[in-house]
Amino acid sequence: MSDKAILEVNGEKHEFPLITGTENEVAIDVKALRGSTKGVITLDPGYKNTGSCESAITFLDGEKGILRYRGYSIEELAEKADFLEVAYLLIFGELPNQEQLDKFHADIKSHSIVDDDVKKILDAFPKAAHPMGVLSSLTSALTAFNPSSVNVDSEEDMYNAIVRILGKFPVLVAWTMRKKHGLPLEYGDDSLGYVENVLKMMFKSPNKDYEQNDILVNALDKLLILHADHEQNCSTSTVRITGSSHAGLFVSLSAGISALWGPLHGGANQAVLEMLEAIKEDGGDTKKYMAKAKDKSDPFRLMGFGHRVYKNFDPRAKIIKVAADEVLGDLGVEDPILDIAKGLEKEALEDPYFVDRKLYPNVDFYSGIIYRAMGIPVEMFTVMFALGRLPGWIAQWKEMRMRKEPIGRPRQLYTGETLRPFTSIENR
Ligand code: ACO
């Protein structure tokens, strides 16, 4: 294959290098485009064809349904690793040995106290506030309570910032839920594993001993692993671009949380459940909603279907579908919502509208069903996604800063008014 691409603009030929990644993906390096063409840019709203960076963290092939973190398949990681090992792998590039993992966990635990004054900020939110807004605000507020800036050239500084946020974030996650439910705020239990501790902080009742449920721990561990990174999606790109101005780690993460909130991204898991509930309330007629999804004059979309990059199947959805059946079976949950979900899935997989557009169930089609069976309230679903995505965001932020990437600043094609004289107010 040639190692260059040739572009002809106004009869003049320009050559651009082709860059090949380790999985033989090819990119045209257009860094010199504006200079050599005297001002011509590429236009790609939604970045469907645009690579924003080189990255060695996550590989995915949407056509083949492949997802790998640092070269390890998601299937193997979901089966054999735990969430903290995966977090370490994503952030530092290699699986930890036992000693490294123990130290990592101990360091995270030593940073898991959130300044008590953060509770005052939390108190000021109305109970009706969406937990994602609260989580984004509190994550940003942590900057004020831990003001030391990160010297990205110091491994120690970087490490400290990472364990600090990994320690404090689950506390904030639990607090957003407890606040909404009027429960006293917990600080967690140092004797527990990372995921066990999250569940205890969320669910411990003030007047009862907490009993750990291994089914829930394993299910949450798997869900968090499946959500831990997904290369340059909307929230991750937001984290990278925010950090590219040299804004700190915590505020970059806060920006990512806001981006994740939207129903076309992380908010989809909440939207799926709300959609399934609405179908149930409306008599459970899945065909009616299939027709609505296909009707171009109707804004309704089948939430949990389709993906920007997976155009055959979402490998995470395959793993999670099996997990959903297991968890519901183990917990003895009979959920009519699951029957509606299965009905929709079957119809969509056979329907030419969905088949032609390669619209398959994505990870969030099933994750909400598991969260619901675990007793996690619907408005917390996207917060759980954020908890899972945290190591991925951290890894991507760290990579971006360590590679000394330039500030993210896209161009535009201006289509507004050309120069016109000012009209004074009495003449308008
Ligand atoms: N229901 C009905 N039709 C759909 C759906 C859907 N869920 N998704 C896409 N389509 C149709 C579009 O109307 C469009 O049809 P057209 O070609 O006739 O105009 C075609 O499929 C392509 O859709 P786009 O929106 O161009 O695809 P894009 O790659 O931009 O969007 C997205 C991907 C945002 C995920 C979309 O499929 C969607 O809105 N899905 C529902 C929301 C959802 O589940 N989001 C979670 C994503 S996974 C995650 O963030 C973890």
Using one digit for the tens of pLDDT, what is the confidence trace for 298-333? Answer: 999 999 999 888 888 889 988 988 888 888 888 888
Residue 231 Cβ contacting ligand 1 at under 6 Å: no
Q: Does residue 196 have a pLDDT over 70?
A: yes
| Band of residue 77 on the pLDDT scale cut at 50, 70, 90 | very high
Provide the pLDDT for residue 105.
98
Provide the pLDDT for residue 331.
85
73 phi, psi to nearest 5 deg: -70, 145
Summary mean pLDDT of the chain: 93
Residue 292 Cβ contacting ligand 1 at under 6 Å: no
Provide the pLDDT for residue 148.
66
% of the chain surpassing 70 pLDDT: 99
Q: How far are the Cα atoms of 119, 182, 224, 302, 334 from residue 105, in angstroms, in the given order?
A: 25, 30, 16, 40, 37
Rounding to the nearest 10 degrees, give the CA dihedral for residues 402, 406, 407, 409: -140
Residue 399 Cβ contacting ligand 1 at under 6 Å: no
Provide the pLDDT for residue 407.
97
Mean pLDDT of 20-44: 96
Q: Which of 229, 230, 307, 314 is catalytic?
A: 307
Mean pLDDT of 356-368: 89
Between 399 and 216, residue with greater pLDDT = 399
Mean pLDDT of 258-285: 91
Provide the pLDDT for residue 185.
92
Residue 355 Cβ contacting ligand 1 at under 6 Å: no
| Band of residue 1 on the pLDDT scale cut at 50, 70, 90 | low
Best of 359, 360, 369, 389 to mutate for ligand 1, by most ligand atoms within 8 A of CB? 359
CB-hemisphere CA count at 13 Å for 316? 25
Q: Which of 165, 130, 349 is CA-nearest to residue 251? A: 165
β-pair partners for 5? 16
| Band of residue 146 on the pLDDT scale cut at 50, 70, 90 | confident
Provide the pLDDT for residue 364.
86
Cα 314 to averaged position of ligand 1 atoms, centre (Å): 14
Cα 227 to averaged position of ligand 1 atoms, centre (Å): 19
Would you say 314 and 307 are in contact if contact means Cβ atoms under 8 Å apart? yes
| Band of residue 366 on the pLDDT scale cut at 50, 70, 90 | confident
Provide the pLDDT for residue 24.
95
Q: Does residue 136 have a pLDDT over 80?
A: yes
Best of 301, 355, 369 to mutate for ligand 1, by most ligand atoms within 8 A of CB? 301
Residue 362 Cβ contacting ligand 1 at under 6 Å: yes
Residue 359 Cβ contacting ligand 1 at under 6 Å: yes
Provide the pLDDT for residue 391.
98
Cα 329 to averaged position of ligand 1 atoms, centre (Å): 31
Residue 382 Cβ contacting ligand 1 at under 6 Å: no
| Active site annotation includes 364 | yes
Provide the pLDDT for residue 154.
87
User: How far is Cα 361 from Cα 358, in angstroms, rounded to an integer?
Assistant: 10
| Active site annotation includes 117 | no
Would you say 386 and 266 are in contact if contact means Cβ atoms under 8 Å apart? yes
Provide the pLDDT for residue 35.
95
Provide the pLDDT for residue 147.
67
Atom of ligand 1 nearest to the CA of 301: 1
